[in-house]
Chains A and B, each alone.
Chain A
Amino acid sequence: MLHGASAMLGASVLADSAVEHYRGSFDNPGMYTPLVVSAVTMAAGIDGASGQWLPRRMRDGMYALSGAVGAIGVGFHTYNVLRRPGGLNWLNAFYAAPIGAPAALSLAGAIGLAADEIAETSHPDRLKLFGIPVGRALSAFTALGLMGTVSEAGLMHFRGSFQNPFMWLPVSLPPIAAALTAKAAIEPAGERDGRPMTRSWLWLTSAMGIAGVGFHAFGVSRAMGGWRNWSQNVVDGPPLPAPPSFSALAIAALAALRLRDLEDA
């Protein structure tokens, strides 16, 4: 499940950065990097989730690369914002490179690495990440990831003036899922009710991520020329591949909850 989430996040980054960097005419050759790396992450995720043909070391290398490139990407995007007139202001936050976007790659890498760790051990309930039980660590991590994605969707939907009421969804559903997941990360052991509430919100968030593609497709239809002019409007309109990153993170959080249950047992 965690490998699958990595693959899904990788796919989302691949499609999104391909469209956005194409839009930026690959002005800087470095702009090809996330395409290659997210494809690699996606491959690692698919391999991990299915046959595991690749040796673990190789797969982990791929995940680690993803983690590192995501971090470097954040650096590049920050530089892109700061060198514009006005520096860190709303205008540049709206239209310069999105600072948070590359972090999704790091998330995908980290989730993948954790997945391999867990698969290796026969006692995942005793496994620790940074000295913290892995279930708790991953819950915290995915909650943070969800909130990061909420901020990006919030920023972009603010740029779009929340002109359609459904644009409020990704800033209202996932924060609740994230808060509940964060609660799972920190609450004392012994909660054994299976956290149905948290799970429902996560499934809802995950479904919303898929529905988001449909909403964004509708958004594309409202641009000049609609889908008849897809070659421009898919690039300039609301990004079709962006919403599923909510689904990927929600699924990772669901997997983390399963580990939490083991830890509690």
Chain B
Amino acid sequence: MSDFEASTPLARDGRAPNVFREGGWTPMRQYSETEEVDFAIVGTGAGGGTLAARLAEKGFSVVAFDAGPFFRPLEDFASDEESQSKLYWLDERIVDGADPLVMGGNNSGKCVGGSTVHFAMVSLRFRPEHFKARTLLGYGADWPVDWREMWGYYDQVERALSISGPLSYPWGPARPAYPYRPHPMNACAQAMAVGCEHMGMKWAPMPLATVSAPRGESPPCVQRGFCRFGCSTNAKQSALVVWIPRALKAGAEVRDLAMVGRVELGSGGQVTGLHYHREGAWRFQKAKNVVVAGYAIETPRLLLNSACPDAPDGLANSSGLVGKYLMTQPNQGVFGRTKEESRWYKGPPILCVSEHWNYCDDKNFPGGYTLMSQGPMPQEWVNIQVGARKLWGSDLRHAMLDYNHMVGMKVVGEGLPSVHNSVTLADEVDQYGLRIPRITYSWTEGDKALIAHSMDQMQGCLEGANATDIFRQEQDTNHLNGTARMGDDPRTSVVNPDGRTWDHPNLWVCDGSTFPTTGGVNPSLTIQAMALRTADRIEALAARGEL
């Protein structure tokens, strides 16, 4: 545990940090632990933060818990890759399988706002057919929701986050123009555009969750590129900056540095509340409903750790599928050198997109992928040099001298769901005395074919942009999904289309874990769209007395 985590919570005594003011506070409603709140939400990221805001706005009493601290970006975030590791979930985990996942900064956050506080802001919609991949494309699984309904929620999220993106999007059915104009493309993004044209693919400026003009208390993005280490200006439209202030304003309570260890199952299959650790002690919050939104590792871990005599295999696990079908996304990169200076670290790291291979079905692998430009920060770049290229000593020094001349691309691919990829419990325990997760992962043959295809395409692009000394970063992953999949059938899924667990009518899941497939795009927009849908469904069910 870092020193920071050991410090005391900030959201208490009727107030919470105001993220827009150094040293500022905002009033916060508080609930007593014996009061049975309508919703206790575990996690405040893309899923939990969004849901907390919407449920509070609909008049429900809400307490949202997060294991991580409540930051004020203006004063807490430094332009320092190392010190910003305080945003990551770095608690102990065991990884295995043929392709063990690297856990940490690249895939999990631990703070109010969740992983969106240090995410790369790429905000893409699923291709409509990807919601019915099994039926229409013959792989993966179907989502139990209609794409048109999801696209309606995408509209809402894009407006809520003022996504800055192109006026017309080259792929898929027509969509409204993005609320804010696109950001300028840096030299690296322009090189990718040239490469795409060379390869006969369309490209577009990337739709991003950082504002290109002032919005409320957010200033426009200053293009300095520290996004993946926490945006210190609040231009980034993270859950911390968008949904949490809305939740607080609508009367929700946020409890920071509050690790939920167990959800309590009462009689009749209903849950009664949750046990959480805060300020050195275990406490219990009563709740009419519990929503788990801890992301694809911590959500199944909490459900499994909540096993009790009435649910010996863990909560919501009658199908045996809690923790199964863990998916990550291939995130390989290809890099090259250009004659002109590129200064690719300028601006948000990802500024150009091609969804060509999401929308083209003439290919020799299942699934789709998105290509994007990338500009790593210096320390990340050293890690790639040492890791992917095995450079050291004077070779490493020479490679680093080329930093300002590099261009690069990466893939975000549709990792396939496999029942063998999973989150289970190890026997070891963490600092709270909770059993830690064991994360097992192996690429499927389909994944390997997709990765090989994407790397050839990226190499072709960079060659087309006249880059030289091209090399590949063969191993990298990001984003996690699955592990509490949604479906129509209680035997083959953990939650129903509303995120309600089949086994316990007042236990819900609202985060990336419910994805039956990952689609070929980054997940956060879909997670938030789904959270908006869940909030609407809960409101409708409550109105009918079916909650």
Contacts and interface: CB of A to CB of B under 8 A. Distances in A.
Interface of A: 84-86, 90-91, 94-95, 158-161, 163-164, 219, 222-224, 232, 236
A158 B182 CA distance: 11
B185 A91 contact: yes
Contacts, number: 54
Nearest to A94: B181
**Most chain-A CB neighbours within 10 Å: which of B185, B212, B214?**
B214
5 contacts: A85-B194, A91-B185, A161-B212, A223-B220, A224-B235
Given A85-B197, A91-B205, A224-B235, A161 B219 contact: no
Interface string B171-213: 0000000011110110000100110010000010100000011
Nearest to A232: B222
A95 to B, nearest CB: 4
B95 interface: no
Nearest to A229: B222
Contact of A94 (B184, B197, B203, B222): B184
A92 to B, nearest CB: 9
**Most chain-A CB neighbours within 10 Å: which of B181, B182, B213, B215?**
B213
B181 A161 contact: yes
B510 to A, nearest CB: 30
Interface residues of B, number: 24
For the complex, would chain B's binding face be called helix, strand, loop or mixed by DSSP majority?
A: loop
Contacts of B213: 159-161, 163
Contacts of B233: 224
B222 A91 contact: no
Contacts of A91: 166, 182, 184-185, 205
Contacts of B193: 85-86
Nearest to B197: A85
Nearest to B181: A159
A236 B213 CA distance: 11
B167 interface: yes
A184 to B, nearest CB: 36
Contacts of A84: 190
B180 A161 contact: yes
Contacts of B180: 161, 163
A222 B167 contact: no
Contacts of A158: 181
A95 B184 contact: yes
A160 B190 contact: no
Given A222-B219, A236-B222, A161 B179 contact: yes
B184 A224 contact: no
A197 B523 CA distance: 57
A198 to B, nearest CB: 34
Interface in B130-179: 162, 166-167, 179
A85 B214 contact: no
**Most chain-A CB neighbours within 10 Å: which of B215, B220, B233?**
B220
Contacts of B181: 90, 94, 158-161
Contacts of A159: 181, 212-213
A223 B214 contact: yes
Contacts of B235: 224
Query: Which A-B residue pairs are the 10 nearest by beta carbons?
Result: A85-B193, A95-B184, A160-B213, A224-B219, A224-B233, A222-B214, A163-B213, A161-B180, A159-B181, A161-B213
Given A95-B184, A159-B181, A161-B181, A90 B167 contact: yes
A166 to B, nearest CB: 12
Contacts of A223: 214, 219-220, 222
A163 B215 CA distance: 7
Given A222-B220, A224-B222, 12 more contacts: A85-B203, A90-B166, A90-B181, A91-B205, A95-B185, A159-B181, A159-B213, A160-B181, A161-B162, A161-B181, A222-B214, A222-B219
Contacts of B162: 161
Contact of B214 (A86, A95, A219, A236): A219
A185 B185 CA distance: 43
